[in-house]
Amino acid sequence: MKFLIVGLGNIGDEYANTRHNIGFILADALAQELGVKFAIDRLASRAEARFRGKTIVIIKPTTYMNLSGKAYRYWLEVEKVDIENSLVLVDDIDLDSGVFRMKLKGSGGSHNGLNNIIEMLGHSNFPRLRVGIGSNFARGFQVDYVLGHFTRQEEKIFIERIPFGVEMIKSFISAGATNTMNSYNNK
């Protein structure tokens, strides 16, 4: 059985450690936990690992956030992964900083990366792990906020919470989405 884990973010040093790149940060933490490194491949940085007898392909699209769907669809097809065995790691301004919530489907809301995935797939029925980054910004400043760097307080929160997110991903792979949502979503 094969799984595709897709961390959303933007490539480039200017985007490192920004709120919008929490998907990349979580993908990096998962790769480190599984003892694998990323290499540049088609449309993404890619790492491959084994976990509990399953093949895990982790990607970080190099298409920039707003075109994430191109890389996601490509790697689903190339790796022949069923959509229910894929998981998109994405920032969410509608959740408080450090809150992790798994969903099986839903709209993209104001998130351009999710909206591009929905557009490329033609539907919104794909699992995602939403990572709360809060919404501490004035009206009209959402872009500046999500592309902004973490505050020291946020860094502390995420340093403590990233291992929890990795555990959720591992649970998704070993126990499935429904069991993971029941066990982790409200913690």
The beta-strand segments (E) located in 42-127 are: 44-51, 54-61, 86-92, 100-103
Q: Is the pTM of this model over 0.85?
A: yes
pLDDT tens for residues 15-55? 999 999 999 999 999 999 999 999 999 999 999 999 999 99
123 noted as active-site residue: no
How many Å apart are CA 49 and CA 31, to the nearest integer? 8
pLDDT tens for residues 125-142? 999 999 999 988 888 888
Max intra-chain CA distance, the chain = 48
Q: Which of 20, 111, 123, 149 is catalytic?
A: 20
Number of domain units in the chain = 1
CATH number, domain with residue 85: 3.40.50.1470
Range of the domain at 104: 2-184
